[in-house]
């Protein structure tokens, strides 16, 4: 029997979720809640209702929340009260208090609650993490990310830290295997909007991995890079293309002593891995489905979603106070 699914929100991400949900085995998309409907006319009009309450009345088993961040808590709580397993787009809520309320409610209700930190399902990031865990880099020294591009007009209620940098904060703790112990950040408001549109973050994980993150909505080109550097070389993940490349340190000693001392390490082989590239959004949703069906499955838990929002708030605190922030180990 197929799970009866509902979607809240028909913005850019909502339309992608609708495409995936309507073409996933063991799931039937039976309704979409959006007060303005679908201006493009590409969605079956018979699916669209005007409110979350109307969607719940259709008898849904699961839902994906892809409405504005400021509405996440109210919508998620409605779904929880109705006994609906729910995946909420990141960030989980507008602030950490709201995120904690959502996570606690779903845990207490015994429901599957997930957060859409989609980069964890990017094939390049997944392969990088697996290879680091298998020791291919030796000791991990640093994780560096760059996530830049033009401003998406759809974002009205949060700035670049909570909308975009939460990707980097989450994937860094996941790949690095530890939460942050220290965060320092600087933000800028350059485009006349209420919220910040640029952030530069430096961090340290509890396991002494150094991190840095450049994120903005001000660049005319779109880039998504994650670089992990260790004692044996560096992995470079291009998450736009789901490509993973390894730059190895050379095994052979450098006979030219002056260059050897200057470089510290020598350039070795470069390998671009041939990896399977399933669509991250589909992998994310299938993991959510399988968790509901008790078929294994992998999700980003709401507790992990809370942590990402808490770390984003620490970034904004550092930027506003011009002070480094120390985080307790949890």
**What are the pLDDT digits (tens) for 171-187?**
999 999 999 999 999 99
Task: Report the topology of domain 3-118+282-299.
Answer: Rossmann fold (3.40.50)
Domain boundaries, the chain: 3-118+282-299, 120-278+309-326
| Reported pTM | 0.93
Give the residue among 216, 185, 165 at the shortest CA–CA distance from 318. 185
> Is the pLDDT at 259 greater than 60, yes or no?
no
Largest CA distance in the chain: 75
Q: How far apart are CA 299 and CA 34, in angstroms?
A: 25
Task: Check residues 5 and 264 and name the one with the higher pLDDT.
Answer: 5
Question: pLDDT tens across 226-244, in order?
Answer: 999 999 999 999 999 999 9
Average of per-residue pLDDT values in the chain: 94
pLDDT score of 269: 87
- With a CB cutoff of 8 Å and minimum separation 6, the contacts of 282 are 20, 24
The CATH classification of domain 120-278+309-326, taken from the options 3.40.630.30, 3.30.360.10, 3.40.50.300, 3.20.20.60: 3.30.360.10
Element (H, E) at 171: helix 166-176
Residues making up the chain, counted from first to last: 330
Question: Rounded mean pLDDT of 92-118?
Answer: 98
């Amino acid at each position: 029997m197929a799970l009866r699914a509902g979607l809240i929100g028909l913005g850019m991400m909502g339309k992608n979720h609708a495409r995936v949900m309507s073409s996933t085995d063991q799931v039937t998309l039976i309704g979409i809640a959006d007060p303005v409907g679908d201006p493009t006319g590409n969605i079956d009009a018979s699916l669209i209702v005007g409110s979350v309450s109307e969607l719940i009345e259709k008898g849904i088993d699961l839902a994906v929340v892809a409405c504005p961040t400021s509405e996440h808590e109210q919508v998620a709580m409605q779904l929880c009260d109705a006994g609906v397993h729910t995946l909420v787009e990141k960030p989980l809520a507008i602030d950490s208090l709201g995120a904690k309320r959502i996570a606690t409610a779903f845990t207490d209700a015994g429901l599957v609650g997930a957060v859409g930190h989609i980069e964890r399902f990017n094939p390049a990031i997944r392969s990088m993490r697996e290879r680091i865990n298998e020791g291919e880099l030796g000791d991990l020294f640093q994780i560096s990310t760059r996530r830049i591009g033009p401003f998406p007009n759809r974002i009205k209620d949060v700035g670049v830290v909570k909308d975009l940098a939460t990707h980097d904060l989450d994937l860094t703790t996941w790949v690095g295997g530890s939460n942050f112990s220290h965060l320092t950040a600087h933000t800028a408001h350059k485009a006349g909007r209420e919220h910040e549109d640029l952030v530069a973050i430096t961090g340290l994980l509890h396991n002494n991995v150094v991190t840095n993150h450049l994120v903005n909505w001000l660049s005319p080109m779109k880039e998504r890079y994650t670089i992990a550097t260790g004692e044996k070389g560096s992995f470079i993940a291009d998450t736009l293309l789901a490509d993973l490349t390894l730059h190895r340190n050379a095994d052979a000693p450098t006979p030219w002593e002056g260059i050897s001392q200057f470089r510290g390490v020598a350039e070795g082989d470069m390998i671009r891995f041939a990896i399977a590239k399933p669509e991250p959004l589909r992998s994310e949703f299938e993991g959510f489905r399988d968790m509901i069906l008790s078929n294994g499955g992998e999700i980003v838990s709401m507790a992990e979603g809370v942590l990402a929002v808490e770390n984003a708030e620490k970034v904004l605190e550092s930027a506003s106070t011009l002070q480094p922030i120390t985080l307790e180990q949890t």
